[in-house]
Amino acid sequence: LMRNADTAMYHAKQMGRNNYQFFTQAMNDAAQERLLLENDLRHAVERGESTLHYQPQLDLKTGRIVGFEALVRWLHPQRGMVGPWQFIAGAEETGLIGQIGEWVLREACSQARAWHRAGHTELQVSVNCSAQQFQRESFVESVGGILRASGLPAQRLDLEITESIIIQHSEAVNARFQALDDMGVRISIDDFGTGYSSLSYLKRFAIHQLKIDQSFVRDISSDPDDAAIVSAIIAIAHSLGLQVVAEGLEAPEQLAFLRSLGCDVAQGYYFSKPVPAEEFARLLESWNPSARVVATA
Ligand code: C2E
Ligand code: MG
Ligand code: MG
């Protein structure tokens, strides 16, 4: 009884506290499921069960692939492919995110370097970085070490962070931004517009790029509010000298609209889903810049 009451209490806390929840079997199953997944996660990295998929980012003026986002997947021996939504939160809670995040960074940088060697020297690599990872004392040093080992120029690495990291604005976080900037690494704000309402951080920190969340892009051509928000984000970014990336681009109308607003870069299923490395390499070789982007101009 006590254990079940405890589970219900945790559930209530998760719902934002200041509420009550009755225990249900489903809560137990969900907790059990998470625990199982967490146990497996401990071995995932050692056993080499994680893999990266790559999604191209396109320059909306030229239609060329200018970069890619590395997105982690977990090849679970029984469950098959597990997406980041299902395990990143657990990895943060258990502290395993440090190990996973470092693996992702190393793998993404060495893959980017390999594509640079193959002639695509302008490619930018974007790596998602969780708040926990960013808070680690050793974070900056670890990024530096990985860059040196891979031979990737720091300017080609983009770290995607969310606004939740910035809310903390401690001295340590400030220093970390500064150190990364000194190194030449670029910082992007992921899911921009969904987290934090104060914009003062945009001038306080060395930030290079805003990624407009896909929830705003989705209805951009039908919902005037979304259109207004996206247009305002692009205007703010440009007047601060930041680059803008639109996420979750799925339809030609969205593309046309974003281009008309002067959005710099876009990524989404309309161009390509995130794909394994071999497939991304084929995309790079066969990409026709004029086919998708310029045709909608
Ligand atoms: P995110 O960084 O905002 O990544 C974009 C997500 O949108 C990806 O989901 C991508 O597959 C999906 N997406 C891309 N284009 C489209 C589109 O046109 N339509 C729709 N509906 N979705 C699109 P994914 O790969 O499942 O990743 C989910 C989230 O997990 C990421 O959101 C990111 O926050 C996190 N994540 C992924 N990889 C890592 C990682 O290596 N480390 C950390 N800390 N987080 C990661
Ligand atoms: Mg991202
Ligand atoms: Mg995002």
Q: What is the pTM of this model?
A: 0.90
Give yes or no for residue 72 CB within 6 A of ligand 1: yes
- Tokens 């040093």 correspond to 141
Ligand 1 and 67: CB distance under 6 A: no
Nearest to 206 by CA among 229, 234, 183, 230: 183
Low-confidence winner among 32-36, 71-75, 214-218, 292-296 (lowest mean pLDDT): 292-296
Instruction: Name residue, tokens 């680690």.
Output: 136
Task: Determine how β-strand 265-266 pairs with β-strand 50-59.
Answer: antiparallel
- Residue 79: pLDDT band (50, 70, 90) is confident
250 lines ligand 1 (CB under 6 A): yes
Residue 169: what pLDDT?
67
CA distance linking residue 34 with residue 38, whole number of Å: 6
Average pLDDT on 189-210 reads 86
pLDDT at 173: 83
Give the residues across from 68 on adjacent strands.
56, 125
Task: Indicate which ligand has the atom closest to the C-alpha of 133.
Answer: 1
Residue 39 amino acid letter: N
* 181 pLDDT above the threshold of 70: yes
Whether 297 shows a pLDDT value over 60: the answer reads: no
User: CB neighbours of 281 closer than 8 A, spacing ≥ 6?
Assistant: 115, 118
- Measured distance CA(51)–CA(273) in Å, rounded: 15
274 CB near ligand 1 (under 6 Å): yes
Shortest CA distance to 187 belongs to which of 162, 168, 160, 205?
A: 160
Helix ranges (DSSP H) in the chain:
2-14, 25-44, 84-94, 97-117, 131-135, 139-150, 163-167, 171-183, 201-204, 214-217, 224-239, 252-260, 277-286, 289-292
> Given ligand 1 and candidates 71, 75, 143, 292, which is best to mutate, with the most ligand atoms within 8 Å of its CB?
71
Q: Are 28 and 4 in contact (CB under 8 A)?
A: yes
| Beta-bridge partners for 51 | 73
pLDDT at site 165: 81
Classify strands 265-266 and 243-246 as parallel, antiparallel or unpaired: parallel
Q: pLDDT grade, residue 295 (50/70/90)?
A: low
How large is the C-alpha radius of gyration of the chain?
Answer: 20
Q: Which tens digits make up the pLDDT trace of 68-77?
A: 999 999 999 9
